[in-house]
Structure 1
Amino acid sequence: MRVHVIGCNGSFAGRESAASSYLVEHTDDDGRTWRVLFDLGSGAFGTLQRVIDPTELDAVVISHLHPDHYLDLTGLEVFWAYNERQDLPQLPLYGPAALPGRIRAVMDRDDDVPDGLTTVPFDYRSITDRATIEIGPLVIEAREVLHPVESYGFRIMAGDALLVYSGDSDACEALDELAAGADLFLCEAGYIEGRDDRFTGVHLTGRRAGETAMRAGVRRVALTHIPCWTDPAIPEREARAVCDLPLQVVQALDVFEVEPRAVAAAPFSGRAVGTTPIAARR
């Protein structure tokens, strides 16, 4: 399994990176490569096009409805709806139940059909806590984590390889459970100790990210979602003070290979909630 960092800036796009967006790829036993995009925040759709042709996407998963995680869906919708290719199927789009209404509001429409068309480009599918999503060989399990709005982290499995993406979250039991045994823990660290103590239930600091990783027994840590006004060396230093695992701060266009440990991680106690597996479409 491979992860492309499309955007990693916290809260808004910056000079060096777009806001949150991560492309996960995995090639199945038949040689078919599956591509699932996690979040598409402000500024990220442009960078995505430097990495793949967006028509190659099999699905998009949105962690929560803050603009730095979903707003560039508006560009993807235009790309998908008005594309010169007229054979594109509906693109499965997973997210909180309010996502379709949010897109309608941004686009100033009363329904999900783009202007001048008669079809809906996205196949909206709601996420709930402990939902399980199957997309080709990828099995994705969601947990609702601690953030001011409905927000999910994800446990992404391909064979024995395990990637965990925190989404946006402060420290909580659900995040510990989600991260358990991850081969790569892609974890936000939007705050720093001392400066941001007046905010609770919003973001992890580097220290709290490191503590979470240690409790969860992960193999590697990749810190992300660091805002422009923060020197990335600070959350990295905070994390290293409490975490002796391999650790780095991500940058836009980084690529991570997620390899399984010798003994697979213990299974997560998620439950399926009626999501439909996505079979090969092309």
Structure 2
Amino acid sequence: MRIHVIGCSGSFAGPRGAASGYLLEHEDESGRTWRVLMDLGSGAFGPLQSVIDPADLDAVIVSHLHPDHYLDLTGLEVFWAYHQRDDLPQLPIHAPRPLPERLSAVLGRSGNIPAGVDCEPFDHHVLEDRRRFSIGPFDILVREVLHPVEAYGFRITAGDTVLTYSGDTDTCAALDELAADADLFLCEAGYIEGRDDRFSGVHLTGLRAGQAAVASRARRVVLTHIAAWTDPEVPLAEARSVYDGPLELAAPGAVYELDRADRAA
């Protein structure tokens, strides 16, 4: 499995990159490469196009409906609806139930069909806690996590490798379940200890992300969703104070390769 960081800035697009977006790739037994996009937040559709032709996407999964995680789906919808190719199928979008009406509201229309076309570009599928589904070689477990809006984290298995994506969450048991023995734990660390203690049930700090990694025995941790106003070395140091495994910061353009050798190690 390959994970491309399209954007990883927390809460809004930052001066050095877009908000959340991660492209997953994996080859099935026939050699076909499947491509699943995980979140497409503000500013992320632009850099996505430098990595792949968006027409090659097989599906999108959306953790929650804050703009930094879904807003650039408006651009993807325009791309899909008005593309010069007329053979694009409906693109499956797995997201919280309100997504279609949110997109229509942003685009200032009634209904889900863009002007001038005769069908919806997206095929909407509703996420629910504990739902399991597959997209090609990807097997996906969904758990609801702790955030001010309906929000989900994902445990994604492909072959012998496991990726866990926290989405946006504070400490919760579901997160530990999702990350159990994960080969890569892509974990948000939007807050820092002390400065953000007045907020609860919103984001992890670096310390709490590290504690989640310890509790779940995650094999490797990549911290993400750090806002532009935060020195990323602070949550990194917080996580490192409790977690002694491989640990790094997400960066736009980074690519992570997971394979059987990683699990064997």
What TM-score, normalized by structure 1, do the two folds share? 0.92
Instruction: Work out the CA distance in 2 between the residues paired with 1:159 and 1:254.
Output: 22
Letter in 2 for 1:56: D
Say whether residues 1:125 and 2:163 are aligned partners: no
Instruction: Work out the CA distance in 1 between the residues paired with 2:205 and 2:258.
Output: 24
Counterpart position of 2:239: 239
Say whether residues 1:152 and 2:133 are aligned partners: no
Contact 1:145 1:175 in 2 (8 A): yes
Residue aligned with 2:200, SS: coil
Counterpart position of 2:53: 53
Instruction: Work out the CA distance in 2 between the residues paired with 1:54 and 1:159.
Output: 24
Say whether residues 1:262 and 2:249 are aligned partners: no
Contact 1:161 1:259 in 2 (8 A): yes
Letter in 2 for 1:113: I
Deviation at 1:148, TM superposition (A): 0.2
The percent of aligned pairs where both chains have the same amino acid is: 65
Q: CA RMSD in A?
A: 0.8
Letter in 2 for 1:44: A
Deviation at 1:29, TM superposition (A): 1.2
Counterpart position of 1:80: 80
Counterpart position of 1:273: none
Deviation at 1:15, TM superposition (A): 1.2
Deviation at 1:127, TM superposition (A): 0.3
Counterpart position of 1:169: 169
Instruction: Work out the CA distance in 2 between the residues paired with 1:237 and 1:123.
Output: 42
Counterpart position of 2:135: 135
Contact 1:22 1:39 in 2 (8 A): yes
Counterpart position of 1:206: 206
Instruction: Work out the CA distance in 1 between the residues paired with 2:236 and 2:226.
Output: 10
Residue aligned with 1:24, SS: strand
Letter in 2 for 1:133: F
Equivalent residues in 2 for 1:177-216, closer than 5 Å: 177-216=177-216
Counterpart position of 1:94: 94
Instruction: Work out the CA distance in 1 between the residues paired with 2:168 and 2:60.
Output: 17
Describe the superposition over 1:141-161 as per-residue Cα deviations: whole angstroms up to 9, x where unpaired.
Answer: 100000000000000000110
Deviation at 1:262, TM superposition (A): 2.8
Contact 1:65 1:96 in 2 (8 A): yes
Instruction: Work out the CA distance in 2 between the residues paired with 1:164 and 1:62.
Output: 14
Letter in 2 for 1:48: L
Residue aligned with 2:8, SS: strand
Say whether residues 1:116 and 2:112 are aligned partners: no
Residue aligned with 2:264, SS: coil
Describe the superposition over 1:228-247 as per-residue Cα deviations: whole angstroms up to 9, x where unpaired.
Answer: 00000000000000110100
Deviation at 1:32, TM superposition (A): 0.3
Letter in 1 for 2:264: A
Instruction: Work out the CA distance in 2 between the residues paired with 1:76 and 1:105.
Output: 16
Counterpart position of 2:230: 230
Describe the superposition over 1:177-234 as per-residue Cα deviations: whole angstroms up to 9, x where unpaired.
Answer: 1110100000000000000000000000000000000000010000000000000000
Deviation at 1:164, TM superposition (A): 0.3
Counterpart position of 1:250: 250
Describe the superposition over 1:75-98 as per-residue Cα deviations: whole angstroms up to 9, x where unpaired.
Answer: 000000000000000000010001
Instruction: Work out the CA distance in 1 between the residues paired with 2:195 and 2:52.
Output: 38
| Structure 2 alignment gaps of length 5 or more | none
Describe the superposition over 1:50-98 as per-residue Cα deviations: whole angstroms up to 9, x where unpaired.
Answer: 0000000000000000000000000000000000000000000010001
Say whether residues 1:35 and 2:35 are aligned partners: yes
Aligned residues: 263
Residue aligned with 2:37, SS: strand
Letter in 1 for 2:185: F
Letter in 1 for 2:209: A
Contact 1:183 1:259 in 2 (8 A): no
Deviation at 1:259, TM superposition (A): 2.5
Contact 1:132 1:139 in 2 (8 A): yes
Deviation at 1:42, TM superposition (A): 0.1
Instruction: Work out the CA distance in 1 between the residues paired with 2:258 and 2:172.
Output: 25
| Structure 1 alignment gaps of length 5 or more | 264-282
